[in-house]
Structure 1
Amino acid sequence: MSLSGVEAFGARLRRLRHAAGLTQELLAHSAGLSTNAVSQLERGLRRHPYPHTLGALADALGLDGAERAAFVARPAPPDSSAGSGSSSTLADGSPGADTSLIGRDDEAKSLVSRLTGVAGGRLLTLTGPGGVGKTRLAGDLAARMRSAFADGVVFVPLASLTDPSLVVPTIARAVGLREEAQTHPGELLSEHLRDKSLLLVLDNCEHLLAAAPRIAELLSVCPGLRILATSRSRLGVRGERAYPVEPLAVPEAGAATDVDRVSNAPAVQLFLARAQDADPEFALTPDNVEEIAEISRRLSGLPLALEVAAARVRFLGSTQLLARLDEVMGLRGARDLPERQRTLRATLDWSHDLLSSAEQVLFHRLAVFAGGFDLEAAEAVSAGGVLTPDVVLASLENLWEQALVRTAAVSGPAGVRYGMLEPVRQYALERLADSGEEDGARARHAAWYLTLAERVEPELSGSEQTGWLEVLEAEHGNFRAALAQTLRRTEDDTALRLAVALRLFWYVRGHLQEGRRWLQEALTACPSAAPPLRGAALEALGHIAVKQGDIAAAESSYAQALALARTSASTPATAAATGGLAVVALWTGAHERATQLSRQSIALWRQTDNASGLASALNAAGLVEIQRGRHRDAIVLLEEGLAVSKAAGDQGLTAAHLNKLGWCSLEDGHLDQAARSFGDALARFARLGEQWLAADCLDGLARVSLAQGRPTRAARLWGAADAQCVVIGATTLPLDPSVYECLTSRARDEMGEDAFAEAWAQGAALSPDRVLGEALAGIAIEGAE
């Protein structure tokens, strides 16, 4: 090769078209371009076609081998100094340069610093799944660094190559060299770049990893050369620095979906930009903001998926687009994208076809996990057939290398958690269904998570309950998937066992409506389950119904649970159902009946060795005595319950007793002691994630503040308490509604209606952390022991 001139691109295209016997119209149709585009290219009016345009033309012309490599090497721009020995600067023609880079400006600045700095390394590989925007980011980086390298930036598209041995010749042509029979292309390229200050951008390397050692050799002999590569996996050579390109941030689930908040999410910004390309009148409005936020979340912020979906918004509208999202993902995107990127499916097909057969099987089976998994779960659910545990580990590592599986560091014994982007998982699920293995994989998945739930359930009343609650929260998506699967099986009681095992988790973490629905569906799906199991489910339904303020439903559930408990002569079950009915009586104002039932429950629990059951009964009985105004009797019950709870290490019940003791202190006028008790309980509830009882602590602290002459603080705390109940779908009605109304009216009178409403709204808008900080300000508490 030499640095002599290269045949003008337009003339070359015309010559190849004639050789193929094609008109401009036929070539345009085969390549997915307009006839005008082909005409402009041949006439030299478009001198810098995109790499995907070159690939499409090469496909239509039937080019392969060296001829294809020569064709897809992008022509140098008019101001190229190739004739004087410099490489061409191609940043202005890099992919995506015609659209703004959204959501990655800080990221791009950091990467520019790495590529141009001394300590940044000379080979930087942008890794990530197909469609995450690696090529687009690389193009932007190339544009930003045009002036940072004396000999320019050269963008080399490699997607169309199938033979790793063509990588070096393709790079050589991209920098302006031409073949010489007597000299190996690698030697000429090394000699040419030895004294150059140049950035090479090698795009789409994942299927050409065998050429990575040649790239490393090139760096070793060319000290002024730096390489930016894009690949779904690392190149695997010494000196490489890998940078994982993450999907764009999406709006937080469960957060307020106002237009300003949602529009700040980069994923939504990209969706809107591409939607407005299709429909300039499209805008984010209060009517569609929730749908657009959910679309971006469902697509996991994956840029290609967002762009494909946004292109359909004019045709479908946001409502139908969300409803038909999976169908939309199979439709074609922009025609000027490479064929393998015109649909998300094609992009994932590309990645899938690079996997070994064992890796493909593992990829399919892992799709049954919803919301991530750890290594132990992956081995248990995925092993079988060709996948022995050691093969699972090795294959999982390669799926991670190929960016089809993601990792995240987590606390706890697992250390690392794995998962897939949701569009990738949906693709893998379809492949799993096609393989005929779906039923078996889902059955193993359900069995694993039933075992986990039943193993963890006893721990939720012990000293490690906070950590175990976090484990269950992390696996909540998998529990949902397991429940949905097992509800289809009416021949066994797996669904009901799983729902009962999760009931404490649902209580504490505020998944009230969801827990109630699963329990009801499981009871219906498992009509022949044993009485103790059905009774436990009914008792759980009663507990949730009380929190939701549905007292009639709670009474019905507890009554059925009591009947089943007596049938099976189970003392613990009888004690639990009796205690539940005591709480129902309390909420209906039947205080005498509540006292009688709560004392019966205590007596029954004393016959067992269940410390948490006894503590719960003592707590309920103490609350009954508080409502009756018998504070000394309440304190005796609550102090015993507190001692039992602490001995058992049950943080939730310890907090519940401290909360009730706070109410006793408040009623007796001991404001400082009340504040300490409420604050201690609140801190413990916050650690557990228990919001309903935390709201009761906030109500208590608000009443303390009002009694101390601080009505503004009281209004803010009441607002925060009300908001916490609303978030989890719990009742906001206190046990003493008339007293509550009197106190809030007093604060409103002291502050004025407008100031009270403003303070209430400010409290309601506080984040949980801010609520905790404000509520505990100035209170000296012991904290959890």
Structure 2
Amino acid sequence: MRVIEVLGPLQVRRDTDGEAVDVGSPRHREVLAALVVDAGRVVSTDSLLERVWGDVGRGASTSNLHAVISRLRGRLSGAGIDVAIATAPPGYRFDPPEAVDATRFQDLLARGRSATDAGDLPAAHDLLHAALELWRGPAYADVRLPFAEVEAARLDGQRLAACELVVDVELGLGRVAPALDRLPALVAEQPLREAFRRQQMLALYRAGRQAEALEVYAALRTLLAEELGIDPGPELQELHRRVLAQDEELGATPAGSDAPAPTAYAPAPTAAPLWHSEVVVPADELVGRDHDVAHLRDVLTASSQRLVTVTGVGGVGKTRLGHAVAEASRDAFPDGVALVSLAPIADPDLVLPTVGRAFGLSAAEGLDPLDAVAQHLRSRRVLVVLDNFEHVVDAAPALARLVAVCPRLSVLVTSRTTLRVRGELHYQLSPLDLPGADDDAPASVAGSASVALFVDRARAVQPGFAVAADNAAAIAGICRRLAGIPLAIELAAARTHLMSPAAIWERLDRVMEGSGARDLPARQRTMRSAIDWSYRLLAPEQRELFRRLAVFHGGFTLDAAEAVLGDARDTLGLLEDLVAHSLVLRDADHPGTVRFRLLEPVAQFAAEVLAADADEERDARDAHLAHFLRLAEEVEPGYRGDGTRDALATTEREHANLVAAIEWALASGQGDLAGRAAWALWLFWWLRGRLLDGRRLLQGVLAQDVSDPVRVRAHAALGAMTFAQGDMALARTWCTGVRLARGSGDLEGEAHNLAGEGLIALAENHLDEAELRFVETVRLTEEAGLAGEWLWTLAHIWQATIRLLLGFPDHAVPLLEEALAAARGRNDPLAIYIALFTSVQVAVSVGDLATARTQLEEGLALSLDTGDMANLAYFLEALAVVESQEGDHERVAVLHGSAARLRESVGSNVYGYYQPDQQLLADAIAAARTHLGPAYDDAVARGRGLGAEPTVAYATAPRSALLD
């Protein structure tokens, strides 16, 4: 039975004779559509009103809806249509789902996929063909409401997936002609969808039309260059190469064969899918959002709609929903899921670098972060959830471009406002369903999602709490008064151990009648009023701590809270009180470190009440600055000695607070303090690729009236940021630093800036000039009492690099020995592996492969331990050169594949003076290709599939162990 057709304009037909039935006015059709999208599930009255009447839905009379439902029932029944619109509290349900063509389509598609997976290609073809035959045009074509647009996008994504799968099945059956007939229309509809181009190239090649297959690739390459400024992805490039080479494995499958055709490209095996989450949500159950989660998962996983924005009032649960959708979608994104919190970010230019860091791109903040992130993601099937986008909405065009150039990337954004970019699908998250307006019976009240949430959270503070005859009306009244907004309901429920529901309801009415600006939207007033109510119920000391917590970004520790509160009061006890009142969350995502966090709507309210007292705000922010300046300066020596990994992890964890402290120092005219903090952080920024942060803040320091020592060091650190970005013009800020340091007699500051001048000369191949700078750097550090320290050691290594590049490896040895001795003496892993790398190049150049291997193995272990993936890639390539010279060509290929994958993962730039000899590496790769033949690509793929730790284990294993 199929009587409701939505795969095209909405139509109702009798199943007996197929005649169309008129169901009434456009409003009748819209209400029917609003029920049909959730066929078989209850749709609440509130949801129906909001879906059909839009923003005025909650203010519309339910009698209007009841009248429309009544007339719909009459028309359907009178026409002999065997369906039901059943009353089911708190709304209505359309039955049966099988009466809707979309349900039939999804069933056929699922069965077609199962048949394909089982290898039954003839059955799969019939099922998929039947599924596609149901389509008459765009889904819900004549229902122009947001809910229908979302559902239409989801269904269209499934249609395209079915089209792609049926072509694969046809090629697998050797039915090239039907595939070739089907593909031109698909390519015209989706010109940038590389899967259809891949299928078209393969079908043409199997039809003996190699030249036309190559033309398909050329046309796509031109289109991508003109539209997006990019090249085809690696799968298409590999297929193009194989078509050019007339690869026998691409040959046609015999007609009628049931065996699947060989694929055009077999993706490299990957490590376990990424799961990265910096979005903190409570550990309790998500209530009332099952349908939203399932619907968004379907849109993101089965749709061509790859940029979805979830909007809603603060506190409606956007963050929780995004986290739940990500969890539910993990199996659909084999290359990983990343949840990224944007709340700590103030600069829209930092959005893409922040996305890159979620995928380990430590150098994604170069001059073009889009290129760095796109290069890593464009061939990967990943989901990115961006939480709290509203305050960086100027980054929306860059995000849309990233989605456009990464055809397998899906992005879910949570925001209070839409992005207003092409390709965006808007999903409005409504508050939770409310109890019926005229029914306070316990069973009816308990059936609504808002009450279920209230009860769940009340049980956390009062076990055994339940809806009963004596409290049902009050609980229903609370949920209605709070408009179904989850955070507001949770704040109220947290008080049930102190007050009865009736008392909470009475106080809420009094508070909310007089709070909140009248020109704010009603739901926003409700949310703010709920937080204000919870705030007013706090004791004075609790209120003070709550206000001062507004200065934190990205969470905080107990120590930091104590510093900001500023006296000997029981900060822990006060924090526990705020957690109990649901105003502060305990962050469970940092094992071994207890951290706390405010939800964004709560943090915004706290900032408002703190800003009301300028003296208190300055005092709190100054205390925050003092605490994090002290932390930065205490942690900084750890980057260069024992505990490097812990030091970097601490700074990573507190980076948002450290940036906020520097920004406050700059905004309040405390430039010297800002400069001290930035100097303590520059090496972290360099090591972790946070170059835009460093560059922006250091330029801010230099724009202020700061002392000479701070200015000299700001020039030195800014030079490091811009040099790492490849911006040699701005890196010459080191020259200004040299002049200023000489004028003030600052030997250490002069040494840092002079070494920078040497690096520019080295990068530009002015070796004599560079050597002079490094020799002078050594002299200055010794005169300043810094012999054997970090900069002294690096200057020795760079001198040795120059000796090697000039063709005098023997002259480099004593310099490297001194550098290594100094670095080992202070347990400095960074300086050790930098020195080891240059020592390896010296050993290889003189044929001492045993020494080279020993040093490489130590460098690999140190790089892994410090988490420096770019450096690990350099060591792997250097080891590949050694393996080639010892005749192990398979190991060369595996190491090369792993190094390439690691470098892609961090988006690292390559300094010409810090890499293996490129000719030796190219020779090693060429020799491996020659000796291994077709097995070379398999070995490279195996290397790409290894993670960092397995790669190091493989690289350092004895050859005999690998043979075993």
Normalised by the length of structure 1, the TM-score is 0.58
Shift of 1:708: 2.8
Q: Please, which of 541, 555, 580 is the counterpart of residue 372 of structure 1?
A: 555
The aligned counterpart of 1:567 is 743
Q: Secondary structure at the match of 1:134?
A: coil
Counterpart Cα distance in 1 of 2:575 and 2:564:
14
CA offsets per residue over residues 283-320 of structure 1, 9 Å max, x none?
A: 99953979996644xx4xxxxx7xx87xx79xx56777
Shift in Å, 1:702: 2.5
Equivalent AA in structure 2 for residue 379 of structure 1:
E
1:333-348 aligned at under 5 Å gives the runs 333=431, 339-341=483-485, 346=526
Q: 1:720 Cα deviation (Å)?
A: 4.7
Asked if residue 697 in structure 1 is aligned to residue 697 in structure 2, the reply is no
Cα distance between partner residues in 1 of 2:672 and 2:292? 56
Q: Which residue of 1 aligns with 2:709?
A: 532
How many angstroms apart in 2 are the aligned matches of 1:547 and 1:689? 18
Q: Give the alignment partner of residue 286 of structure 2, picking from 133, 137, 141.
A: 133
User: 1:572, CA displacement in angstroms?
Assistant: 2.1
Q: How does 1:424-439 map to 2 (within 5 A)?
A: 424-426=602-604, 428-430=606-608, 432-433=610-611, 438=617
**Stretches of structure 1 lacking an aligned partner (at least 5 in a row):** 1-27, 54-98, 100-126, 141-244, 272-282, 300-304, 323-327, 781-785
Superposition map of 1:157-172 within 5 A: none
Instruction: Name the structure 2 match of 1:658.
Output: 836
Residue in structure 2 matching 1:631, options 803, 809, 816: 809
Equivalence for 1:353:
533
Selected match of 2:794 from 610, 616, 620: 616
1:390 counterpart = 2:570: yes
Equivalent positions of 1:468-547 (< 5 A) are 468-490=647-669, 492-524=671-703, 526=704, 528-547=705-724
Q: 1:689 to 1:638 in 2, by over 3 A?
A: same
Query: In the superposition, relative to structure 1, how do residues 488 and 394 fare at CA in structure 2: closer, same or farther (>3 Å)?
Result: closer
Separation in 2, partners of 1:491, 1:522: 9
CA drift at 1:420:
3.5
- Given that 2:85 and 2:92 are in contact with CA atoms closer than 8 Å, whether structure 1 keeps it comes out as no
Offset from partner CA, 1:196-220 (integer Å, 9 cap, x none): xxxxxxxxxxxxxxxxxxxxxxxxx
Structure 1 residue 571: Cα displacement: 2.4
- Aligned equivalent of 1:734: 912
How far apart in 2 are the matches of 1:427 and 1:544? Answer: 36
Partner AA of 2:861 in structure 1: A
1:261 corresponds in structure 2 to: 381
Query: CA offset at residue 369 of structure 1?
Result: 1.7
Q: Which amino acid aligns with 2:756?
A: G
The question of whether the paired residues in 1 share the 8 Å contact of 2:751 and 2:780 is answered with yes
Shift of the alpha carbon at 1:580?
2.9
- How much does 1:471 deviate? 0.7
Q: 1:583 to 1:40 in 2, by over 3 A?
A: closer
Q: Mean alpha-carbon deviation: is it higher for 31-40 or for 609-618? A: 31-40
Larger displacement relative to structure 2 (726-735 or 612-621) = 726-735
Within 1, Cα distance between the matches of 2:671 and 2:408?
38
Matches of residues 99-178 of structure 1 in structure 2 within 5 Å? 133-136=286-289
Deviation at 1:737, TM superposition (A): 8.5
Q: Secondary structure at the match of 2:765?
A: coil
Q: Which residue is 1:406 aligned to?
A: 586
Structure 1 pair 258–550 and aligned structure 2 pair: CA distance change class (3 A): closer
Structure 1, residues 149-203: CA drift from partner, whole Å, max 9, x if none?
xxxxxxxxxxxxxxxxxxxxxxxxxxxxxxxxxxxxxxxxxxxxxxxxxxxxxxx
The alpha-carbon deviation at position 742 of structure 1 amounts to 5.8
- How far residue 375 of structure 1 moved from its aligned partner, in angstroms, is 0.5
Amino acid in structure 1 at the alignment position of 2:711: R
Q: Any idea what SS the aligned residue of 1:418 has? A: strand
Structure 1 739/649 Cα, relative in aligned 2: closer, same or farther at 3 Å?
closer
Cα offsets for 1:635-680 (capped at 9, x unmatched): 2111221111111122211222222222222222222331221221
Aligned to 2:227: none
Q: Give 1:547 shift.
A: 3.4
Q: Distance in 2 between matches of 1:685 and 1:375?
A: 33
1:578 aligned residue:
754
- Equivalent position amino acid for 1:706 in 2: S
Q: Is the 8 A contact 1:585 1:591 kept in 2?
A: yes
**Pairwise CA distance, 1:476:** 1.0
Per the alignment, in what secondary structure is the counterpart of residue 747 of structure 1? Answer: helix
Tell me, in whole angstroms, the C-alpha distance in 1 between the residues paired with 2:629 and 2:602. Answer: 26
Query: What is the CA–CA distance in structure 2 between the aligned matches of 1:701 and 1:533, rounded to whole Å?
Result: 42
Any residues of structure 2 matched to 1:572-611 within 5 Å, and which? 572-610=748-786, 611=789
- Contact 1:698–1:721 (Cα < 8 Å) also in 2: yes
How many Å apart are 1:333 and its aligned residue? 5.0
Stretches of structure 2 lacking an aligned partner (at least 5 in a row): 1-56, 74-83, 94-150, 152-279, 294-322, 328-336, 340-354, 360-375, 390-399, 435-449, 451-479, 487-522
The answer to whether residue 863 in structure 2 is matched with residue 685 in structure 1 is yes
Instruction: Name the SS for the 2:623 alignment partner.
Output: helix
Instruction: Please name the residue that 2:635 is paired with.
Output: 456
Relative to the length of structure 2, the TM-score reads: 0.48
Q: 1:30 to 1:686 in 2, by over 3 A?
A: same
Q: Look up the equivalent residue of 1:645 and give its one-letter code.
A: A
- Equivalent residue number for residue 35 of structure 1: 64
1:551 offset after TM fit, Å?
4.1
Contact 2:557 2:596 in 1 (8 A): yes
| Stretch deviating more after TM superposition (663-672 or 635-644) | 663-672
Secondary structure of 1:251's counterpart equals: strand
Secondary structure, counterpart of 2:404 in structure 1? coil
CA contact (8 A) 1:512 1:730 kept: no
Q: How far apart, in 1, do the equivalents of 2:733 and 2:863 lie?
A: 26
Partner letter of residue 406 of structure 1?
A: R
Equivalents in 1 of 2:551, 2:422: separation in Å?
28
In structure 1, C-alpha distance between the alignment counterparts of 2:596 and 2:707, rounded to whole Å: 37
Query: Do the aligned partners of 2:553 and 2:660 also contact (CA within 8 Å) in 1?
Result: yes
Match of 1:116 in 2: none
Q: Aligned partners of 2:767 and 2:281: how far apart in 1?
A: 63
C-alpha distance 132-559 of structure 1, shift in aligned 2 (>3 A): farther
Query: What CA distance in whole angstroms lies between the structure 2 residues aligned with 1:738 and 1:30?
Result: 70
- Provide the C-alpha distance between the structure 2 equivalents of 1:738 and 1:656, rounded to a whole number of angstroms: 13
Residue aligning to 2:112: none
Q: Does 1:707 align with 2:885?
A: yes
1:682 touches 1:694 (CA, 8 Å); kept in 2? Answer: yes
User: Contact 2:719 / 2:733 at 8 angstroms: preserved in 1?
Assistant: yes
CA spacing shift, 1:139–1:485, aligned 2, 3 Å: closer
> Identical aligned pairs, as a percentage?
27
Matches of 2:92 and 2:534 in 1, distance apart?
20
1:214-363 superposed matches below 5 A:
249=327, 251-252=338-339, 253-254=355-356, 255=359, 257=377, 261-263=381-383, 286-287=403-404, 295-296=412-413, 299=414, 316=420, 333=431, 339-341=483-485, 346=526, 349-350=529-530, 353-355=533-535, 356-358=537-539, 359-363=542-546
2-structure distance, mates of 1:32, 1:709 = 82
Three-state SS of the structure 1 residue aligned to 2:595 is strand
RMSD of aligned C-alpha atoms? 4.9
CA distance in 1, matches of 2:425, 2:551: 25
How far apart, CA to CA, are the structure 2 residues paired with 1:128 and 1:770? 33
CA pair 641-754 structure 1, distance change in 2 beyond 3 A:
same
Q: Is the 8 A contact 1:462 1:650 kept in 2?
A: yes
Letter in structure 1 aligned against 2:564: V
CA contact (8 A) 2:557 2:595 kept: yes
Rounded to whole Å, the distance in 2 between the matches of 1:290 and 1:487 is: 41
Aligned length: 539
1:558 partnered with 2:734: yes
Q: Name the residue aligned to 1:647.
A: 825
How much does 1:424 deviate? 4.9
Partners of 1:40 and 1:46 within 8 A in 2: no
Letter matched to residue 631 of structure 2: L
